[in-house]
Structure 1
Amino acid sequence: MIVNEEQTSTVAARSARWNHLAPTLAAMLTDLLVMSLVTYGAGLGRQRLPFFDEVGDVDNLLRAVGVPLVLGWFAVVALTGAYATHVLGAGTTEYKLILRGTMIGAGVVGVVCYLAKFQFSRGFFFLLILFGVPTLLLGRYLLRRAIHAARRHGHLVHRVVVAGSVAQVDEVARVLSRESWLGYHVVGAVVPATETVETTPGGVQVLGSTARTVAVVVDTDCDVVLFAGGAVSSAQQMRRAAWELADTHVQIMLVPQLTDVASDRVRVRPAAGLQLMELEGPRHQGASRTSKRLFDLTGAGLLLLLASPLLLVTALAVKLHDGGPILFRQQRVGRNGDLFDCFKFRSMVVDADSRIDQVADANKNGDDHVLFKATNDPRITAPGRLIRRFSVDEVPQFLNVLRGEMSLVGPRPPLPGEVERYTDDVRRRLAVRPGMTGLWQVSGRSDLSWEDSVRLDLYYVDNWSLVQDVAILARTIGAVVSSRGAY
């Protein structure tokens, strides 16, 4: 059976629409399920928990307001924009909108009950908010992980044609390939007619010139066209390109000359037909302020207290293994280049430093990276291999945090020898306190290349926020349990 081009185009359009709608529908269903379960659980808790004196008429209350409460909660969250396609799957905006919608809904319920003099169970309301917010956020987080996993396996993927100069095409394609969880698969490129190549240096197939963008879109059945630098030479050409693509099913995206910039640092300001992009300056100064320091002191103090039994067991294991010192002190470089002693449980033999050249020679791979870490280091002791696997060796660094030398979250603390090889750009890592964990750890730790490690650390320095710190700490748990990149 022969399928004509119109039928193929229709199927591609439906597939593209589904890829866009699926995350939104999944988010809606997840939130409705969570809201329903939390509402039922709050009613059950109000009846069964011993610290509530009287059960009252909670059963009848739940029957009367349960469904309207869930639907109203869902509607308020939807009105805040928490189901918009552009906020799902990446960044912290999704979580902020969920929190904002829930708080607005709680305020509305409180005001309505007060004005209507409706007897609403305060215990039920308390449990609803107490468990509703974290459960909703957890549900969205798990959904995000599921969508990312699906995209990495080739599902819910958008077919992308990149328009731009050869250099810009390769830069965009490299980012989209590296961040496969975004779900953008580059099928080819269109470049200016002056650049006569069949394939870019990065391996992207050139499907034609930018003048043939519409024809290429039809031939490839792509659903996204990314206009990067060099695609058009004027605003008039960009407008004409948009007109020509208006009758196709593709989504048009523009790639500004900004990379590794958090979305909440960019604001669009319309001015007489121009879309001006206002870029907020780097936030590394905010990462040194009182709020982050209080967060570090509180978190480190509580975690150190909770980890005290683990500290004792680990200290005994290290000492009993070979009788050497329990702690290993290593000089590291902190904020603004200040030196400090970084504490760790000793995970290597006592004379590890004297054998580093031997291990380095045995693990050469031809790369000229600033970092060195062997995948199978013979200097690691038996208990050291176990505590490294789950990052227990780094627990004493809570003391460095309390002393103000480190932070809970931040760039990796470098060695003085590494800093000597830093370029001016890489030295920006030293603008904030180094961290016990950071984007480098939750993204693969030692499995990362030197370039990716630098990129992640500089992203953190320039785009710091307290919400991001909390998100990184949450992701650290998964990184530690999976042990990916830990050796």
Structure 2
Amino acid sequence: MPTLAVLSAIGEAHAAHRAAVITVVWVLVRLAARRYAPWTWDEGAPVGSVLRDWLVLLGALTALRTVSGFGSPPAAEFVALCPSLLVTVVCRKAVHRHLMAVRRRARALRRVLVVGEAATVDAVVGQLAERTEHGYVVVGVCVVGEGDVPSGVPVFTRLRADEPTAFDEDAVPVAEAAEALGADLVFAAAGRYMSGHRLRRLSWALHDRGCPLMVLPGIVEVVRRRVRLTSAAGLTLLDISPPTRRGLPMILKGVTDQVGALVLLVALAPVFGLLALAVRMGSAGPVIFRQTRVGRNGEQFPMWKFRTMVVGADRMKGDLATANEHDGHMFKLRRDPRITPIGRFLRRYSLDELPQLVNVLLGHMSLVGPRPPLPEEVARYDRVEMRRLSVKPGLTGLWQVSGRSDLSWHETVSLDLQYVDNWSWGWDMSVMARTVRAVLDGRGAY
């Protein structure tokens, strides 16, 4: 419809016919790229894939025009397709948001039977239960060997730990379990007892019965765009790309940080003045609070915030240590007596963080990244937690848009590592857009 409207507006002949052909080519491009496959909805609504398909569409229409003489002039075609690109992105994001809302109500889910060793099965069940954005619900498990499943999911049957002697020794009980539980597909978790040959025979039996099979290779928190499937000598290999740390994406991130921070500092200058006046009038002490934080690769830097606590709050921290409500290395109190009245308002809407735009401009921080920790917090980090420091800390990030202080330490670290390993510029843009809603909501800010 947008393409037809633009073609009609610019006076193109046979606008309806041209729009119909463009629509058909667009659908074919998306089908060829497998954009309508069920699993694509679990990836969110990436702008990059839509843009790539749109560029392919332009190329296809150019080739079609060259071969058959079809189409309008290139400039008119480009103008006509620009609104379609925007509409496609907006519609896909709207549909994805609706799908996530439906899944949170336990609808539009695929029923899954999990097959594997007890510990692995329990880990899979726990991972799926932690989140609601995926489209799967575990209805039962088939355990290979001995061992309990503490998650409480019903164990339908147990398979022998050693390699089965009969051809369908695994297949029959698994297929019966899938049918009895009404499972839409089977997850098979690779492990010590689940060899490649055993998985192959299981796949034959399940596919012959019309039941899909997915194999869990054991890797976690790796987005699909970093994984490439290949094979060698009959072995199936997963080629996992390293996290993005250099090249054009990092240059783009740096430019976005510098330009974004400068624009926001200029645009919010009047707000800075009003907040500074409110802090000054609210309680005695300086307007800006300076605190040492730890940045990328463990480098310390001075971070600035609008002061939200009484003067000398750091010296009072030791007396409140036993009242800490956070389960990790951070110190958090819902009703911290050190916070001033105006400070409580600033924290609720994250206005105290605005001076960190200067840190972004100076290169200490990024607009998006993990929360910058205190040196005493870093001193207690293990090697997994230290990986949070492999990128610049951010003014906002997954922690801020996912619940902030309401999150457990495990959830906080998990979100930060997910960002560190799978960062992309498009993801940064999405986090910044979600930050506006998180700030207005104020949930978890104290």
Q: TM-score normalised to the size of structure 2?
A: 0.88
Matches within 5 A, 1:96-175: 96-110=48-62, 116=69, 120=73, 122=75, 125=77, 127-175=79-127
Instruction: State the distance in 1 between where 2:322 and 2:6 align.
Output: 62
Distance of aligned partners of 1:134 and 1:119 in 2 relative to their CA distance in 1, 3 Å threshold? closer
Matched, 1:319 2:283: no
Which residue in the other structure is 2:396 paired with? 437
Which residue in the other structure is 2:43 paired with? 90
Which residue in the other structure is 1:195 paired with? 146
Contact map agreement 1:408 1:435 (CA 8 A) in 2: yes
Instruction: State the distance in 2 between where 1:328 and 1:318 align.
Output: 11
Distance of aligned partners of 1:373 and 1:119 in 2 relative to their CA distance in 1, 3 Å threshold? same
How much has 1:64 moved relative to structure 2?
4.9
Which residue in the other structure is 2:34 paired with? 81
How much has 1:304 moved relative to structure 2?
2.3
2:222 to 220, 237, 261: 261
Instruction: State the distance in 2 between where 1:63 and 1:129 align.
Output: 14
Matches within 5 A, 1:22-37: 36=1
How much has 1:232 moved relative to structure 2?
4.5
Contact map agreement 2:257 2:367 (CA 8 A) in 1: yes
Contact map agreement 1:286 1:464 (CA 8 A) in 2: no
Instruction: State the distance in 1 between where 2:14 and 2:277 align.
Output: 56
Which residue in the other structure is 1:329 paired with? 290
Which residue in the other structure is 1:65 paired with? 18
Instruction: State the distance in 2 between where 1:91 and 1:64 align.
Output: 33
How much has 1:90 moved relative to structure 2?
1.6
Instruction: State the distance in 2 between where 1:373 and 1:139 align.
Output: 40
How much has 1:317 moved relative to structure 2?
2.0
Instruction: State the distance in 2 between where 1:242 and 1:184 align.
Output: 20
Which residue in the other structure is 1:468 paired with? 427
Contact map agreement 1:170 1:201 (CA 8 A) in 2: yes
Which residue in the other structure is 1:250 paired with? 211
Q: Which runs of 5+ in 1 are unaligned?
A: 1-35, 47-55
1:1-59 deviation line (CA, Å, top 9, x unaligned): xxxxxxxxxxxxxxxxxxxxxxxxxxxxxxxxxxx2x3355458x5xxxxxxxxx635x
Distance of aligned partners of 1:277 and 1:67 in 2 relative to their CA distance in 1, 3 Å threshold? closer
2:375 to 416, 432, 443: 416
- Report the 3-state secondary structure (helix = DSSP H, G, I; strand = E; otherwise coil) of the residue aligned with 1:213: helix
Which residue in the other structure is 2:300 paired with? 339
Matches within 5 A, 1:298-377: 298-364=259-325, 367=327, 369-377=328-336
Which residue in the other structure is 2:3 paired with? 39
Instruction: State the distance in 1 between where 2:246 and 2:70 align.
Output: 49
- Report the 3-state secondary structure (helix = DSSP H, G, I; strand = E; otherwise coil) of the residue aligned with 2:42: coil
Instruction: State the distance in 1 between where 2:354 and 2:220 align.
Output: 34
- Report the 3-state secondary structure (helix = DSSP H, G, I; strand = E; otherwise coil) of the residue aligned with 2:383: coil
1:69-92 deviation line (CA, Å, top 9, x unaligned): 344334333333221222223256
How much has 1:417 moved relative to structure 2?
0.7
1:332-351 deviation line (CA, Å, top 9, x unaligned): 01112111111111222333
| C-alpha RMSD over aligned residues | 2.7
Identity of aligned residues (%): 39
Q: Which runs of 5+ in 2 are unaligned?
A: 160-169
2:356 to 397, 400, 405: 397
Distance of aligned partners of 1:89 and 1:331 in 2 relative to their CA distance in 1, 3 Å threshold? same
How much has 1:63 moved relative to structure 2?
4.3
How much has 1:323 moved relative to structure 2?
4.8
Instruction: State the distance in 1 between where 2:47 and 2:322 align.
Output: 47
- Report the 3-state secondary structure (helix = DSSP H, G, I; strand = E; otherwise coil) of the residue aligned with 2:187: strand
Distance of aligned partners of 1:154 and 1:439 in 2 relative to their CA distance in 1, 3 Å threshold? same
1:274 to 199, 222, 235: 235
Matched AA of 2:292: Q
- Report the 3-state secondary structure (helix = DSSP H, G, I; strand = E; otherwise coil) of the residue aligned with 2:311: coil
Contact map agreement 1:329 1:344 (CA 8 A) in 2: yes
Which residue in the other structure is 2:163 paired with? none
> Which piece of structure 1 moves more, 287-296 or 179-188?
287-296
Instruction: State the distance in 2 between where 1:330 and 1:240 align.
Output: 60
Contact map agreement 2:349 2:440 (CA 8 A) in 1: yes
Which residue in the other structure is 2:196 paired with? 235
> Which piece of structure 1 moves more, 229-238 or 440-449?
229-238
How much has 1:168 moved relative to structure 2?
0.4
